[in-house]
Structure 1
């Protein structure tokens, strides 16, 4: 028995890991992933565990060596690309650095996952995500405050003349979209501060 799911995460590391482990605890094993589309097959509940590593920052050779290590430990992995920082111009596509995740799967036998991601690489991921949401916030804010007619003039028309311009609903939509985007900026800023704290051993 198989199951397909469409899932979009604002945090592709922690949120996705918790979700995949929750699916496994319910008896669903990941067999294929294509961006935000996931395919599962039935398994024994709790039979598998998942962990996700951010591979950007590693050289191609380092990444291949880590994948070889996973093969030696008989740990299955899926490569999931991130579209962060990708620039397209016609048929030409350019990405400054490789941005991909490794979704690792192992049997729940008590042994640990191999560790490749450093704190610096996780910090790099959170920084990229914060930058992405920051750009979105700036664009939404500019559309809200500078779009014609101005938000202030429409509010003035409502209270002074009782005229409701239908474009006020467009402004409200922008504001509604802006609020969760700002929350994501705060979230990733907090994660970055946490990762910058020294590790006490």
Structure 2
């Protein structure tokens, strides 16, 4: 587990605390206005199947805060094993579970207890037995080596200061020939160091 100052000069403990606080609010108060979009309207705008969304528990949908649609990159196949990094309230995890079916398996990993509580409740509500949620950091995925056929993520990797460790963990849990499907916020230009070290900007 990464601790202390990251290679970017960001206090990782302070950053994680602020990110947890932000997404704790998204879990607890999903109708509140945030500086980012959330909920069903966002999922529909990003191309999620409306009929499938209608089958998912409200808790998973209302606290959705993704930035794209990782399933638009490549369809998941029945029987595949999937890890969702930064699974939040569980929308992507449940969508993945519907795609891989009972012969597949999905593990959602998140560091915010309130999001995990909503995700677990949603999975229980629809009776999914091929889904499990685990509390951990993206830098230390609680998944065995080579377990996953696919790793997905949606708007979470940009919040991790130590991306080299995160991608090393993703590679570790993927089987040979496995694939990564993620949606995130990126920049094509260098970010000034003062901005990199501003935790408020990370969480924003």
Do these two structures clear the TM 0.5 threshold for a shared fold by scoring above it?
no
By relative contact order (CA 8 Å, sep 6+), the higher-ranking structure is: 2
Q: Which one has a larger percent strand, Structure 1 or Structure 2?
A: 1
Give the TM-score taking structure 1 as reference length.
0.26
Q: Which one has a larger percent helix, Structure 1 or Structure 2?
A: 1
Give the TM-score taking structure 2 as reference length.
0.26
Largest Rg, 1 or 2:
1
